[in-house]
Amino acid sequence: MDSKGAKGGFKKLMRSFGYASEGVVSAWKSEQNFRIHTCMGMIVLVMAALLHVSKVEWMVILILIFLMHSLEMVNTAIEKAVDLSTPDYHPLAKLAKDLGSGAVLLFAICSAIIGLIIFIPKIVAIF
């Protein structure tokens, strides 16, 4: 039975992980914002370690970092699908891209606010 007819199997699962990994690598290679989010995430992780955040704060920080990356990849997928569907300018294509970018922006703002809520009291306590 070929992979399309198979209901599961370890090989199919491994291929799925392979395709997903290719997507992450592609985002890293082609998307400047993905790399910026990665660098910012690494800075946040170092700060969290230095400031000894709690387990719950660690969980929140990790969720925010991974959701930011996921949302950036979804936005990129929207952009690529729109580009594939229409090579010419179309107001709805622009709107779809703007909405995807707007979603990333809103989540970045939310993440920054949560980061400030977590980090400011710890930084103030040092001084």
**Residues acting as catalytic residues:** 72
| Inter-residue contact 123 to 51 (CB < 8 Å) | yes
Q: Is 57 annotated as a binding residue?
A: no
Q: Is 2 annotated as a binding residue?
A: no
Q: Is 16 annotated as a binding residue?
A: no
Q: For the stretch 66-87, what's the b/e string if a residue is b when 16 or more beta carbons lie within 10 angstroms of its beta carbon?
A: eebbebbbebbebbeebeeeee
Q: In angstroms, how far is CA 67 from the centroid of its own chain?
A: 5
Query: What CA–CA distance (Å, rounded) separates 49 from 47?
Result: 5
Q: Is 22 annotated as a binding residue?
A: no
Q: Is 3 annotated as a binding residue?
A: no
Q: Is 72 annotated as a binding residue?
A: yes
| Inter-residue contact 48 to 61 (CB < 8 Å) | yes
Q: Is 19 annotated as a binding residue?
A: yes
Instruction: Extract the annotated binding site for substrate.
Output: 72, 101
Instruction: Extract the annotated binding site.
Output: 19, 31, 72, 79, 97-98, 101
Instruction: Extract the annotated binding site for a divalent metal cation.
Output: 31, 79
Instruction: Extract the annotated binding site for ATP.
Output: 19, 31, 79, 97-98
